[in-house]
């Protein structure tokens, strides 16, 4: 395997040889989509306004440098308005989403007591699974837990049952299982779910990952990696163990 040391600067490099947790998630959703996006590269992942909003909340809560710029009008700042024409579109966020993200981040930070100086944020994890380089970025690692921040819709976090369906729809167990495997630890795993409704009201819940489901999810990740290496890019070729 090639020598490639992951850093903040090269983590998203196209030269990175690792299979990331997001790529594995793409394959689990659709082998055809994985092929078109990451092999043939005939399509490009779309960055939606909701994705930008969630990413900005992540950055604010996990103490990262803010990479988004709120869209300005010519009447507000003519020079910045002109400059933003040359910005990457993916870093421009609406003023409303920018302000809402700050509101939700402040709510999160004021309602949890475990985000201390002992925490590590946006931790790059890498290792080998099924003879394949894999990687991921953990949002928060405390001395006693692995925590993934998820900005979602209020209905997803209404109850344990609704959250369980949400984890299945978005392969959250597979992502978490890979993170903990790479961390080489058996510490408990949690999702810190946060949302903001149409009236601006914020809510926050902590969901603990089930150990048995984590074990089964890691096996599904193993199967997916083997199928990616075997170049199985048709849906009928993948046989994943069910929950």
Q: Is the pLDDT of residue 208 over 60?
A: yes
Tell me which of 84-88, 117-121, 205-209 is least confident. 84-88
Q: What is the average pLDDT value for the chain, to the nearest integer?
A: 91
Find the mean pLDDT for residues 38-48.
Answer: 90
pLDDT tens per residue, range 1-34: 457 888 888 998 888 999 999 999 999 999 999 9
pLDDT tens per residue, range 159-179: 999 999 999 999 999 999 999
Q: Is the pLDDT of residue 241 over 80?
A: no
Higher pLDDT, 127 or 115: 127
Banded model confidence at residue 235, pLDDT cuts 50, 70, 90: low
Q: Is the pLDDT of residue 236 over 70?
A: no
Q: Is the pLDDT of residue 196 over 50?
A: yes
Banded model confidence at residue 240, pLDDT cuts 50, 70, 90: very low
Banded model confidence at residue 238, pLDDT cuts 50, 70, 90: very low
pLDDT tens per residue, range 101-122: 999 999 999 999 988 889 999 9
Find the mean pLDDT for residues 75-98.
Answer: 84
Q: Is the pLDDT of residue 184 over 90?
A: yes
Domain positions in the chain are 19-46+112-237
Q: Which two tokens stand for residue 87?
A: 């910005």
Q: Is the pLDDT of residue 61 over 50?
A: yes
Q: Is the pLDDT of residue 239 over 60?
A: no
SS3 for the chain is CCCCCCCCCCCCCCCCCCEEHHHHHHHHHCHHHHHHHHHCCCCCCCCCHHHHHHHHHHHHHCCCCCCCEECCCCCCCHHHHHHHHHCCHHHEECHHHHHHHHHHHHHHHHHCCCCCCCCEEEEEEEEEECCEEEEEEEEEECCCCEEEEEECCHHHHCCHHHHHHHHHHCCHHHHHHHHHHHHCCCCCEEEEEEEECCCCCEEEEEEECCHHHHHHHHHHHHHHHHHHHCCCCCHHHCCCCCC
Q: What is the pTM of this model?
A: 0.88
Find the mean pLDDT for residues 32-46.
Answer: 92
CA distance 153 to 210: 22
Q: Is the pLDDT of residue 90 over 50?
A: yes
Q: How confident is the model at residue 2, as a pLDDT?
A: 52
**Multiple choice CATH, 19-46+112-237, 3.90.320.10, 3.40.50.720, 3.40.50.150, 3.40.50.970:** 3.90.320.10
């Amino acid at each position: 395997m090639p020598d490639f040391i992951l850093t903040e600067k090269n983590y998203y490099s196209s030269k990175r040889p690792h299979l990331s947790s997001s790529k594995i998630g793409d394959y689990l959703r659709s082998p055809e989509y994985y092929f078109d996006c990451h092999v043939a590269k005939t399509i490009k992942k779309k960055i939606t306004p909701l994705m930008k909003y969630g990413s900005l909340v992540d950055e604010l809560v996990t103490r990262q440098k803010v990479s988004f710029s709120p869209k300005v009008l010519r009447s507000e700042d003519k020079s910045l308005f002109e400059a933003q024409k040359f910005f990457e579109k993916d870093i421009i966020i609406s003023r409303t989403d920018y302000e809402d993200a700050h509101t939700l981040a402040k709510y999160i930070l004021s309602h949890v007591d475990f985000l201390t100086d002992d925490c590590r944020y946006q931790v790059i994890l890498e290792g080998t699974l099924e003879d394949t380089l894999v990687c991921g970025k953990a949002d928060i690692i405390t001395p006693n837990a692995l925590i993934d921040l998820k900005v979602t819709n209020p209905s997803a976090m209404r109850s344990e049952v609704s959250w369980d369906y949400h984890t299945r729809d978005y392969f959250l167990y597979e992502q978490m299982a890979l993170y903990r495997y790479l961390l080489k630890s058996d510490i408990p795993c949690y999702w810190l779910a946060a949302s903001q409704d149409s009236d601006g009201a914020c809510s926050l819940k902590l969901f603990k990952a089930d150990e048995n489901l984590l074990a089964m999810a890691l096996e599904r990740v193993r199967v997916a990696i083997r199928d990616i290496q075997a170049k199985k890019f048709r849906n009928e070729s993948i046989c994943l163990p069910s929950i």
